[in-house]
Every structure is written in C-alpha cells, then in structure tokens.
Amino acid sequence: MSTIKNNMLQRFLKYVAFDTESNDNATCVPTTEGQFVFARFLEQELKGMGLQDVLLDEKGYLYATLPANCNRELPTIGFISHVDTSPDMSGKNVRPRVVENYPGGDIVLDAKENIVLSVADFPEVENYKGHDIVVTDGHTLLGADDKAGIAEIISAVEYLQQHPEIEHGKVRIAFNPDEEIGRGAHNFNVAHFGCDWAYTVDGGAEGELEFENFNAGSATFTIQGRNVHPGYAKGKMLNALRVATALVQSIPSAESPECTEGYEGFYHLMGINGGVDSASVSYIIRDHSKDIFEERMSFMQKVAKDMNAKFGDSVVSLDLKVQYRNMREMVEPKMYIIDIAKEAMQQAGVVPMVKPIRGGTDGAQLSFMGLPCPNLFAGGINFHSRYEFVSLQVMEKAVMTIVKIIEGVAK
C-alpha cells in the first residue's frame, strides 16, 4: 500500500469513529455535540500540520489556510467537506473493515445476522474488483459521506507540504456541520473564507463532477378533521387520514423518486402522520428545470385548493417552502473552473463524468452566496445505508485530483 493511501486510510478510520449524525429536529448549531467534538479534533490536526489561520467558530465551522509557496498573483481557491453524517442510519460505533484486493462476489458484513453486500442488490460493487474497499459491519453507515472527503482534502494538503516543488497559490479549506439536513451553508462565512471559487468534495463514484443540482422545495399539508364516536359518526365525522389518502392519490405516483432518473424531477412522499382528528402529509419537490420546478410548486397549491373544494374550506392548509436552487446558473459564467477540474482528473488518471446531482449540496447554496462551488467525487457508494463502502484506490485518485487542481491553477 502506498504511503499516501496508508496515511489516508489511517486518517479515515479515525474519522469514522466519531459519531456525528446531524439532527433535523434540533435548533442549535451544530445540531449535535458530536459534530463539535469531531471539529475540535480536526482543528488540532490542522494546527499540528502547521496550517495557518485555523479557526473553529462558535457554530462548528472550521477554516484553515495552506499559504502560497510562490510570489505570483494567483486566485485563492477552496475545498469544502462536511463533518456530519446522515440521520437516516446510525453513525454510532462504526466498525469498518478493509477488504483487501476484493475478488468480486458478495461481501458478508455480518454472518450471524446474514447481512450481505450482495452483487444481486448492488451490482456496482463488482466494478471494484482488485480494489481495497472499506465496508461496515452491517449495523451502521460507514461515514464516507463525507469523512472520505475530509480525509482526501487533508491528505492533499499534506502531499503539497511534502512536495514544495509544486508551486501553488493560497488554498483555503473548510469543514462545516449539518449538511445532511440542508443547513450546511446557512452559517458559512463566505467573506471570511475569501476564495475566488471552491469545490465541495462530497460526490460519489470516481470521476463525478457536478455543477447542476435540483431546485428543491418542501410541502407540508396540515389536515384538520372532525373526530366523533364511530358509532354515531354518520354525517359528522371527517377522517383526516382519509383526506390524507385522497391527497396522496391526487399526486402522480409516476413522478416519484423510484420512477425517475437523470434530469427527471419528482414529488417525494416523506411522511404521513396523525389520526382521525388531524393529520399531516409531507413532501419534498425536486426538478432541475427552474420553470418545471415552479410548476410543481404551483401544483401543490392546486392540490390543497382541490382538497378544500372536496372536503370543506380550511380543512387543508399548506406550508410551501423553497429550500435551494440549481447552482448551474451561478457556475456557467465561470465554466473555466469546470475545465480546470476536468483536466486535473485526467492528469490523475480519472475519466471525468459530468452529471447532474439528483439531490442537493452545500455548493448549491454557497454558489448563490457568491462562492461558485461545483462538487467533486469522494468515492463513497451507497451513502446513508449499512451497505455504504469506499475504495481506497478511488480515494487516492480524489487526493491527486485535488492536488492537480491546485497545481493547475498555478500554471
């Protein structure tokens, strides 16, 4: 195993030991103390490496600088990853295992409980034959999203420190909390970061390069019914759950995540809660097209209006919010930052795969805050699940892609 890969692996294994799930129900920043514990650990690591301007603010945002090693006037660029992991799956007591020189076939994560990373369910795993891949024990997520990105950024900085012959300008790095619940950019200090542009290192498979994401919204329908003893309910009861069922049936099921791909948008049913007297139905709305997204948001207003026409005025109320926008319009005027990333990938032996993100990224919000910020691959597969894994060979290529971007900006 190469020195870069071994050091990166040891770093990554330390990082995934921290429990850093974010919590969408919390109002504090960061939303969990574990994120602050991990950020403090990273703060000390960056200081120990001799980086400058290391700052961990009161909200858990960590910033640092690798100073320029040449006197030429060069752009300041940044690299960003997030410290939190998804609350969709436990990130506590992660027990990673390295499958060296993966031979192909199923990987048993827990033989006793028959938890298997199977080729039948996840055929992409066989793309990594011959790789050293890190898996879980099947009871937690791994945390490659986005601790792989953090390990790669720090390993790239370390590589540049060890190779002073590579000229580079000022490089800024930042690690933020609460990305997984859509709040990662909310308290990001763009002015303090001081970059001409940046890259989030938060993508998936090798070569992913993304500067388009969904326009995103949320819709919460609140339903007020009337609960009456069921034996005497005729003409009196209004069952909020039946209204909820009718509401869900009015939204096209063919336009859901499980039926769409590529640039196709969707309505995603997130939850139905309540009982006869009151209930709520929550959706998220996604589309790459700004115009179609607005149509989708308007459609949700129509659904609420139609339900009230059917069941009675004010039975259904709607809370409709825009969450984030497609960063493409902010990146397109500076497409050279995509060209630089493509060339860097090629120099690192990576085939660039420019594709839209079927989701969101801190980079989308940051782009609208004045920091153009496309997304680079970090290597993780099956994010947010017990079947998450990452290839060390791909992580090493991510490190070298970062190095080559920094080197390329100086040329």
Known catalytic residues are 84, 179
**Which H helix or E strand runs over 221?**
strand 215-224
Rounded distance, CA 20 to CA 140, Å? 12
Rounded distance, CA 375 to CA 364, Å? 9
Cβ–Cβ contacts within 10 Å for residue 99, how many? 17
DSSP assignment of 35-101, as one string?
HHHHHHHHHHHHHHTT-EEEEE-TTS-EEEEE--SS-S----EEEEEE--B-TTS--SS---EEETT
Helix boundaries (H) for 101-171: 144-162
Phi, psi of 60 (to 5 degrees): 90, 15
**Which H helix or E strand runs over 69?**
none
Retrieve residue 147's tokens: 């601790």
Residues in Cβ contact with 25 at an 8 Å cutoff, skipping those fewer than 6 apart: none
Rounded distance, CA 250 to CA 240, Å? 15
Rounded distance, CA 122 to CA 380, Å? 13
**Which H helix or E strand runs over 135?**
strand 133-135
Cβ–Cβ contacts within 10 Å for residue 38, how many? 27
- Closest among 246, 260, 302, 86 to 180, alpha carbons compared: 86
Residue pair 388/134 in contact by the 8 Å Cβ criterion = no
